[in-house]
Amino acid sequence: MSSIEVKDLNFSFKDQTIFKDLSLNTESGTITGIIGPNGVGKSVLFKIIAGLIIPQTGLVKVNGQEINQNGFPDDFGALIEEPGFVDRLSGYDNLKILSSIKNLINKDDIKSTLKLVGLWGKHNQKVKNYSLGMKKKLGIAQAIMEKPKVIILDEPMNALDEDSVQNIRTVLKKLATENNVSILIASHNMDDINLLCDKIYKINNYKVNEIQKSNNE
Amino acid sequence: MSISNNLSMTVVNLKKKVYISIYLFLLLFMVTNLYSYQSSYNGTKYFFNWVLYSLNQSITSNFVIPILFTLTISYMLSTNDNRLIIYRMKNRTQIFLYNVWVIIYNDLIFIAGILGTIILLSISSQNKIQFNWDEKSIKSFSMLFNGFSPNNAQPIIQIIMLIVFMFLFLLFLGLLTQTINLLFKNKATPTFINIFLIILQGKVSSIPGFNTNFIKYFPISHFLLYSDQTINFTETSNFNIIVFYNIIYWIICIFIITFILEKIYKHKQFN
């Protein structure tokens, strides 16, 4: 069964067509990449998958659940554009607040997630004092902390240093292979896409086309 | 329900420091009310008259409390478009319910704050508690309300109903505030509109050429008992009928605005 299924998606905004009959699939235990130039609609597609934006027509399913105006995806984690953390609170407290919404995890889970992304030790610093890279790691942490079955990450490696990039790549690979998680990544970095992804889609002319890994377009 | 409950309490706890500023503002205006109350009448002071007087003070009830409430609701629900919160909700109905929870919670905080302040301030003025109207308390009341006679209904019943109407008014106002907030992307325009609407309805009777028959359809005519804009509430008016019509009015208003807010959430694009 597909983890994410998008079929015949049509979406336009202020008379501008963004997607026309767009379809894609992702499978459990795999990482799927999305590439395309700026402004082509990668973030919009992620917002549609997350249920934040309602498309004009088309079918979106996450873990078999149809995403429409009646429901957000269950068992799902997302990092889309800039995450809105509370700047005056620490990274740890931000995750604690977010985790209190679904109440699925405890303090130890938050601690182990922060260790995983390399933020443990700086978890008590206020987010306003975090660098861009640290905020990105916190964004990844909130997306994976509840151990969802489907994760979508919009430019997850942006602003990360080389060591952190390597670490996050390892974390994501492990999640997919060991925990059978389906991960969808949008990135401009072809190294990330080629090293991480089992399948790559390119957005072009309002649709996505599957491309070969060796294609470095 | 529990998700929206968890979230509303989390958000409220996160922003609870705002209540100190609200309380200080309320206290300031209630002290002003107490000062005018003390200087209006020199005879025996009656506790229920003081409560009726302070709740019906138009500057406090028509402007200060609604404006404070509308700003509080906008602030408390300002995290509404946070994607990290939204995608953790089950559906859009839960975001809507979370809004309603936050509005009701703050409404209760406001009512408790208003009543607490009124009772606290009454301690200094040595008010006499008397449950029924008599010649002296009516005389005291008339001096406070510029010669206006109180309704026959027991003072405490009138106060209870005033509190109920104020709760319903603030609930309606909170829902209206959030509805207007959702219609705009920026925060300044809806804040301006919300405050403008409060001032407009508070001053509607002073607008030259405004048909006074329409005033009875405005919220302001349905949450105060002794204000300039309250229609036909005199000594001889039937209190039960006024209460009945006011409650019907609020049920209809709250039902309509809740329906609109729920529909807006169903179709909102969280860009």
Name every chain A residue with its beta carbon within 8 A of the beta carbon of B83: 47, 50, 52, 78, 80-81, 83-84
Is A20 in the same domain as A121?
Answer: no
Point out the domain boundary residue: A104, A122, A147. A147
CA-nearest residue of chain B to A46? Answer: B271
Question: Taking a contact as any Cβ pair under 8 Å apart, which residues of chain B between 25 and 64 contact chain A?
Answer: none
Which residue range is the domain that position A39 belongs to? 1-75+150-160+180-211
pLDDT tens readout for residues B27-77: 888 888 888 888 877 777 888 888 888 888 888 888 999 999 999 999 888
Instruction: State whether A53 and B269 contact (CB < 8 Å).
Output: yes
On whether residue A167 sits in a domain, the answer given is: no
Q: What angle do CA B131, B134, B138 make, to 5 degrees?
A: 100
Is A1 in the same domain as A70?
Answer: yes
Point out the domain boundary residue: A125, A147, A169. A147
Query: Minimal CA–CA distance to B151: which of B208, B211, B235?
Result: B235
What mean pLDDT comes out for the span A150-154? 96
Of the ranges B167-171, B216-220, B240-244, which one carries the lowest mean pLDDT score?
B216-220
The answer to whether residue B95 scores a pLDDT higher than 50 is yes
Is A58 in the same domain as A71?
Answer: yes
The predicted complex's ipTM stands at 0.89
Is A94 in the same domain as A70?
Answer: no
Whether residue B267 lies within 8 A of chain A, CB to CB, comes out as yes
Q: Count each helix (H run) and each strand (E run) in chain B, helices first.
A: 11, 0
Question: Which residues are bridge partners to A11 per DSSP?
Answer: A19
pTM over 0.90: no
On whether residue A45 sits in a domain, the answer given is: yes
Is A64 in the same domain as A108?
Answer: no
Is A155 in the same domain as A53?
Answer: yes
Reported as a pLDDT band with limits 50, 70 and 90, residue A217 is very low
Per-residue pLDDT at B194: 94
pLDDT tens readout for residues B153-210: 888 999 999 999 999 999 999 999 999 999 988 889 999 999 999 998 888 777 777 7
Distance of alpha carbon A67 from alpha carbon A49, whole angstroms: 7
Point out the domain boundary residue: A147, A172, A193. A147
On whether residue A103 sits in a domain, the answer given is: yes
Which phi and psi (to 5°) does residue B243 adopt? -60, -45
Is A70 in the same domain as A118?
Answer: no
CA-nearest residue of chain B to A69? Answer: B266
Write the burial class of residue B132 (CB in 10 Å: 0-12 exposed, 13-18 middle, 19+ buried): exposed
Contact B69, B174 (CB under 8 A): yes
On whether residue A118 sits in a domain, the answer given is: yes
Distance of alpha carbon A184 from alpha carbon A33, whole angstroms: 6
Query: Minimal CA–CA distance to A34: which of A212, A174, A200, A150?
Result: A200
Is A70 in the same domain as A154?
Answer: yes
Instruction: State whether A69 and B90 contact (CB < 8 Å).
Output: no
On whether residue A172 sits in a domain, the answer given is: no
DSSP tag of B126:
T
On whether residue A171 sits in a domain, the answer given is: no
Distance of alpha carbon A42 from alpha carbon A40, whole angstroms: 6
On whether residue A169 sits in a domain, the answer given is: no
Q: Which two tokens stand for residue A19?
A: 């997607």
What mean pLDDT comes out for the span A100-125? 94
Name every chain B residue with its beta carbon within 8 A of the beta carbon of A97: 10, 14
Dihedral, CA atoms, B98, B104, B106, B108, nearest 10 degrees? Answer: -150
The dihedral built from the CA positions of residue A48, A49, A50 and A51, taken in this order, carries a sign that is: positive
Is A56 in the same domain as A3?
Answer: yes
Contact A194, A215 (CB under 8 A): no
Per-residue pLDDT at B22: 86
Per-residue pLDDT at A101: 86
How far apart, in Å, are the Cα atoms of A196 and each of A2, A118, A166, A193, B223?
Answer: 19, 19, 11, 5, 63
What mean pLDDT comes out for the span A10-26? 92
Per-residue pLDDT at B1: 45
CA-nearest residue of chain A to B10? Answer: A97
CA distance A144 to chain B (A): 12
Domain boundaries, chain B: 2-267
Distance of alpha carbon B211 from alpha carbon A196, whole angstroms: 71
Dihedral, CA atoms, A60, A65, A66, A67, nearest 10 degrees? Answer: -70
Sheet-wide strand order for A199-204: A76-79, A150-154, A182-186, A31-35, A199-204, A207-211
Name every chain A residue with its beta carbon within 8 A of the beta carbon of B7: 100-101
Q: Which two tokens stand for residue A153?
A: 């990450």
Size of interface A-B (CB pairs under 8 A): 67
Is A3 in the same domain as A24?
Answer: yes
How far apart, in Å, are the Cα atoms of A111 and each of A88, A90, A118?
Answer: 20, 13, 11
Per-residue pLDDT at A70: 79
On whether residue A121 sits in a domain, the answer given is: yes
More confident position, B38 or B90 = B90
The dihedral built from the CA positions of residue A109, A111, A112 and A117, taken in this order, carries a sign that is: positive
Is A67 in the same domain as A104?
Answer: no
